[in-house]
Amino acid sequence: MAGPTRGQEVTIRVAVDGSPKAGSMLRVTNFTATPQQDLPELDYLGQTETDYDFQHNGFHLQWEIHQEDAESIDMLDQAIANERAHLAPRPVTITVIYKYRDPAQPGRIVVYHAAKAMQGDEGFKGRKDHNTVAYTAKARRRSTLAA
């Protein structure tokens, strides 16, 4: 038995307008992908049981980076400039690469397509702590590939 997957076996890559980001955008921590799902109950007259209607509405993504260059500052400035010019937000592609410890288990690549992303909090802590920048994104679809 190989054991559970750890963070060192998951790689996150971010691309904006098809251009892979480097520097700080490679220093991803605390990545979370939450399916946006709903299970409304439908009760119809004359029926004795409730029907459930599963609805999938995409994914809510959150991640944080350790700032080591001006990449996050430039991305925010570009997003603000696009908004002021009444341009559409630039599409963001988030790729998650999973490697498993069991050699018999092939890895997976999960790609979140055409996400709409925004920068959240930028944090400065103690003298020896990393400066952090948080991001949030919404993606309607993803695809899964074997690695």
DSSP conformation letters of 60-103: EEEEEEE--SSHHHHHHHHHHHHHHTTPPPPPEEEEEEE--SST
Instruction: Give the C-alpha separation, 26 to 68, whole Å.
Output: 10
Percentage of the chain beyond pLDDT 70 is: 98
Q: What pLDDT score does 2 carry? A: 63
Confidence of residue 110 (pLDDT cuts 50, 70, 90): very high
| 76 neighbors 119 (Cβ within 8 angstroms) | yes
Q: Are 119 and 21 in contact (CB under 8 A)?
A: no
What's the pLDDT score for residue 1?
55
Contact present, 144 and 108 (Cβ < 8 Å): yes
| 51 Cα distance to chain centroid | 32
CA dist 49 to 7, 40, 43, 46, Å?
44, 14, 7, 9
Q: What percent of the chain has pLDDT over 90?
A: 52
Q: Computed from CA positions of residues 123, 129, 130, 135, in that sequence, does the dihedral angle turn out positive or negative?
A: negative
> What tens digit of pLDDT does each residue of 56-101 get?
899 999 999 999 898 889 999 999 999 999 999 899 999 999 998 8
